[in-house]
Copies of this chain bind each other. A is one copy, B any other.
Amino acid sequence: MITLAPKVTEEHKRQRRADIIAAAKTVFYRIGYLKTTMQDVIDEVGLSRGAVYDYFGNKSELFRAVVDAQDVSVFKLYDDILQARPIWPALVENILDPFERYNENAPLEIGAHIEFVLETRDDNERLTWVVERYQRFVTSFTEIFQTGISIGEFAPLLPADVIARFTLSAMDGIHMGVMAAGVNVIEAAAQTGALRKFLLDNLRPLQAE
């Protein structure tokens, strides 16, 4: 019995932390990062101020926890690409298709992310998180491209990490346009088509349409 007690408490803590993250996600993506206060999140989750602060010291920590939680499923998708044969259709299905859906459906999420990144510039701890997250995406894309090379599916014309970095920038730029002017004004779908063509021309996958 004694050995069970801490286990329940840990489970309870994990659940409470997940509840706070879920509430924070709702608030951040409804009103944006800059306008959100800790009090908004406290109201949304329906816990005491002290209970929330036990888990997260400030808004920035909360936002990073929201993004980290989302990234788990994003990187899971990327891992699935590494196992797929051939890789190219899985890359389209797990990177480009979700990107296109995200542009259509998540302008508020995109805006909150950009707001957060803007605020990081004066804060070393947050800057470290942004840079490490960026490197994780570069590494993940590069690993996908390298795997394609090693199995003889891709024959790239640029270094794999440059293709990765440029792909991430193109996606960020399209996100920024969606946030600033809207998905229709910037013709995001046609731009995703151009990104797809960039990847086809530079990875040169075998048997791709």
Contacts and interface: CB of A to CB of B under 8 A. Distances in A.
By size class, the interface of chain A is 35 or more
Instruction: Please state the number of chain copies in the assembly.
Output: 2
Interface stretch (A10-18, A57-65, A145-153, A194-202): A194-202
A135 B179 CA distance: 15
Contacts of A166: 170, 191, 194-195, 198
A63 to B, nearest CB: 14
Interface of A: 34, 111, 114-115, 117-118, 120-121, 127, 130-131, 134-135, 157-159, 161-163, 165-166, 168-177, 179-182, 185-187, 190-191, 193-195, 197-198, 201-202
Given A173-B171, A176-B173, A193 B162 contact: yes
Given A121-B179, A166-B170, A194-B166, A186 B111 contact: no
A36 to B, nearest CB: 14
Contacts of A185: 131, 134-135
Contacts of A117: 176, 179-180
A186 B173 contact: no
A30 to B, nearest CB: 13
Nearest to A166: B194
A207 B34 CA distance: 50
A206 to B, nearest CB: 19
A178 B89 CA distance: 31
Contact of A176 (B114, B115, B131, B194): B114
